[in-house]
Amino acid sequence: MATHVGRLPARRSLRDVLEGKGFPYLMVVPTILVLSIVGVIPFVYTVFISFQETSFTRTVGFNGVENFTSLVSDPLFWKALGVTSLILVVAVPVQLLLGLGIALVMHRGILGSRFIAPVLLLPAVVAPTVVAIIWKVMLAGTWGFLTYQVVDRFSLLERGSVLGLPRSALVSILLIEIWQWTPFVALALFAGLQALPLSPYRAAAVDGASRWQIFRYLTLPMLLPLLAVLLLLRTLDSFRIFDTIFILTGGGPGTSTQVVSIYLYKSVFQFWELGRAAAGAVLIWVMFFIFASILYRIFSRRLKLF
CATH number of the domain that 174 lies in? 1.10.3720.10
Q: Are residues 80 and 32 in the same domain?
A: no
Is 300's pLDDT higher than 80?
Answer: no
Tens digit of each residue's pLDDT (9 = 90 or more) over 160-181: 678 888 888 999 999 999 999 9
Q: Are 84 and 28 part of one and the same domain?
A: no
Same domain, 34 and 147: no
- Put simply, whether the predicted model's pTM sits higher than 0.85 gets the answer no
Considering the domain architecture, whether residues 42 and 176 belong to the same structural domain is answered as no
Examine the domain organization and report whether 34 and 75 are in the same domain: no
The answer to whether position 292 is within a domain reads yes
Same domain, 75 and 39: no
Confidence at residue 15, expressed as pLDDT on a 0 to 100 scale: 57
Decide if pLDDT at 91 tops 70. yes
Pair type for strands 52-55 and 58-62: antiparallel
pLDDT in tens, 101-149: 988 888 887 666 667 777 777 888 888 888 889 888 888 877 777 777 7
Query: Residue 8 domain-assigned?
Result: no
Instruction: Look at residue 86 and tell me if it is in a domain.
Output: yes
Higher pLDDT, 25 or 236: 236
Residue 221 one-letter amino acid: P
Q: Which residues are registered as beta bridge partners of 54?
A: 59
Chain centroid to Cα 110, Å, comes to 30
Q: Both 40 and 111 in a single domain?
A: no
Q: Residues 73-89: pLDDT tens digits?
A: 999 999 999 999 999 99
The answer to whether 262 and 251 are in contact (CB under 8 A) is yes
**What is the domain extent for residue 23?**
16-50
Q: Is residue 134 part of a domain?
A: yes
Closest by CA position to 132, among listed 233, 249, 239, 256: 249
pLDDT of res. 185:
93
Structural domain contains residue 58: no
**% of the chain surpassing 90 pLDDT:** 24
Tens-digit pLDDT profile for residues 239-290: 888 989 999 998 888 889 999 999 999 988 888 888 889 999 999 888 888 8
Reported as a pLDDT band with limits 50, 70 and 90, residue 30 is confident
pLDDT digits 0-9 by tens, 270-279: 888 888 899 9
Instruction: Give yes or no: residues 45 and 117 share one domain.
Output: no
Cβ–Cβ contacts within 10 Å for residue 258, how many?
24
Instruction: Please give the tally of structural domains in the chain.
Output: 2
Q: Are residues 227 and 280 in the same domain?
A: yes
Same domain, 158 and 255: yes
